[in-house]
Amino acid sequence: MRIHLSSIFVDDQDKALRFYTDVLGFVKKTEVPLGEYRWLTVVSPEDPDGTELVLEPEGHPAARPYKEALAQDGIPVTSFAVTDVRAEADRLRGLGVRFTQEPLETGPVTTAVFDDTCGNLIQIAQYH
């Protein structure tokens, strides 16, 4: 058994696709029209056949309160692995990304947290 899909609720699929591809560097994998929305996934260019991240519209009534509660408490909705958190944070800051937690070393991991512009906090993590 392996993880095939993981979802993240976004307030605007087009904006999310631009952010996750143009800024974070993911690649669009799937786009299937489904009425008002799309089945829209991105993958890491380092693992194009790996886990897909679904850019899920926040249409369900529970989605927005869930996202807002996590963001208000400073809790990231997901975490992405990077080889160098400080370098990645510098790169993203240069692209206008706003960080809510600067790189912080906590034992065997260094993390940072940023706003994805779609209502979510995202953590990047480097394991030592």
DSSP 34-64: ETTEEEEEEE-TT-TTSPEEEEEE--STTHH
Number of domains in the chain: 1
| CA 16-17-22 angle, 5° bins | 105
DSSP run (H or E) holding 114: strand 109-115
Question: Which positions ≥6 away from 1 have C-beta within 8 Å?
Answer: none
Share of the chain above pLDDT 70, in %: 100
In terms of residue numbers, what domain contains 47? Answer: 5-127
CATH number, residue 74: 3.10.180.10
Q: Is 66 helix (H, G, I), strand (E, B) or coil?
A: helix
Per-residue pLDDT tens over the stretch 18-53: 999 999 999 999 999 999 999 999 999 999 999 999
Nearest CA to 97 out of 22, 29, 11, 43 is that of 22
Distance separating alpha carbons of residues 70 and 55, to the nearest angstrom: 17
pLDDT, tens only, 63-92:
999 999 999 999 999 999 999 999 999 999
pLDDT value, residue 64: 94
Q: What is the pTM of this model?
A: 0.95
pLDDT 10s digits, 114-127: 999 999 999 999 99
